[in-house]
Structure 1
Amino acid sequence: MIDIIDQINAIHREIGDRPVASGAGRSLLLRRVYDADIEDVWSACTEADRIGRWLAPIDGDLRPGGSFQLKGNAGGVILRCDRPELIKVTWGFGEGMVTEVEVRLAPAPGPDGGTVLELEHASPAEIVDELVRAHGPGGTIGIGGGWDLTLLGLDLYLHDTAFDPAALEDTPELKEFATRSCQAWGAAVQTAWGTGDDDLAAAVAFATQHYAPDATGDER
């Protein structure tokens, strides 16, 4: 069983501005602590056989300058790989949609150990602005919700290397997590952009429909 509330509250969510290679950019920032040492988290995020156990099967040349492709997901080029602290890649779903993802790792402060993971997904400002024009802030909320699911999968895998992501698909637990995730990203959008309550509710519902189509988005 997943402790949904703890998993939602484990992630810090933030929306802001971050330059990308092409100029001005917008970013989503996620931060959480994993109960695993930094080398274990690094290995899970960089070794093909382990990536396939919690994210998706991956093909490519996994070294700086090499390219990669996640099955049924994004592909790109590895820009930096500084063990065990930094991974930076381009992240593209198609022509004209190339963005950048940076993962930063650091030992967690305090006596309990663990690893702080920060994931920042930065996109050219024109891509985000067009997404918002087309779909309102729901598109941004949906991207954040997708990353929440990714970080959930990593946590479950680090606690149980026999974890099978397929076992969670279409389960009530996953739908509740996705619903609450979209609500949490809605709050981040409101903080960043001052979105009105009615527009925010519509945006959260739009994003929730993608990940949890049977949910209403009204759970508290």
Structure 2
Amino acid sequence: MTLTPTGRLLRTATGSDLVVSRRFRASAEDVWASVTESDRTARWFGPWEGEAAPGRVIKVQMAYEEQAPWCEMRIDACEPPRRLALSTTDEFGAWRLELSLAETDGSTELRLVHHLTGEDGVGEVGPGWEYYLDMLVAAREDSPLPDFADYYPSMKDYFEALAMA
């Protein structure tokens, strides 16, 4: 299967943002539930536990990664049903993520922004976010989940080229 990557790399005053988005025929509230309720995130990313609130840390299981590891994520901002900002640090570095939802005429655009600390590794990160957002689409549609092998390494060159531009 050949998939077309949709991600963009935007240069900002503070660095670079990797932006990947998807559109859903649903209300912002419904899409918000898909990205914030543990039983729903479990279907496409992994479950989470803890007391979710700005400034709090939750534990998230990355259920579709090798060995399904748990990681801690700090909720930096939570403005239902429009914006969620998270940060985490792991062996690969610090990750700052932001999800924003915009509803227009019965459809909602979900925009995932990964605030990068550098553009090295975007060839690995970009395909991963394409995969996870397509996992979200599949989970919402009750369709078969995609295979990561369809995203990586086939999308790596696309994302690396964005960093070279």
Q: Same fold (TM over 0.5)?
A: yes
Task: Select 2:31's aligned residue among 32, 38, 41.
Answer: 41
| Bigger helix share | 1
Aligned residues: percent identity? 24
Q: Determine the structure 1 residue equivalent to 2:64.
A: none
Contact 1:30 1:118 survives alignment (8 Å)? yes
Distance 1:34 1:74 in 2: 28
What letter is aligned with 1:100? R
Task: Select 2:83's aligned residue among 83, 86, 99.
Answer: 86
Question: Which runs of 5 or more structure 1 residues have no equivalent in the other structure?
Answer: 133-138, 195-220
Name the TM-score, length of structure 2 as normaliser.
0.80
Task: Select 1:51's aligned residue among 41, 58, 81.
Answer: 41
User: Alignment partner of 1:63: what SS?
Assistant: coil
Question: Within the alignment, does 1:141 sit opposite 2:123 as a pair?
Answer: yes
Contact 1:43 1:50 survives alignment (8 Å)? yes
- The alpha-carbon deviation at position 26 of structure 1 amounts to 2.6
Q: Where does 1:44-193 land on structure 2 (aligned, <5 Å)? A: 44-71=34-61, 72-94=69-91, 97-108=93-104, 113-125=106-118, 128=119, 132=120, 139-160=121-142, 168=145, 174-175=147-148, 177-179=150-152, 182-193=153-164
What letter is aligned with 1:156? A
Deviations 1:63-111 (A, max 9, x none): 11111221215432101111111000113224x8222100010114xx5
Higher radius of gyration, 1 or 2:
1
Deviations 1:20-67 (A, max 9, x none): xxxx43321101212322111101111122111221121222111111
| Bigger strand share | 2
Contact 1:15 1:189 survives alignment (8 Å)? no
Name the TM-score, length of structure 1 as normaliser.
0.62
> RMSD value over aligned CA atoms?
2.5
Distance 2:54 2:11 in 1: 26
Task: Select 2:6's aligned residue among 3, 12, 19.
Answer: 12
Deviations 1:178-204 (A, max 9, x none): 24xx4445224324414xxxxxxxxxx
Contact 1:62 1:68 survives alignment (8 Å)? yes
Q: Which has the higher contact order (CA 8 A, sep 6+)?
A: 2
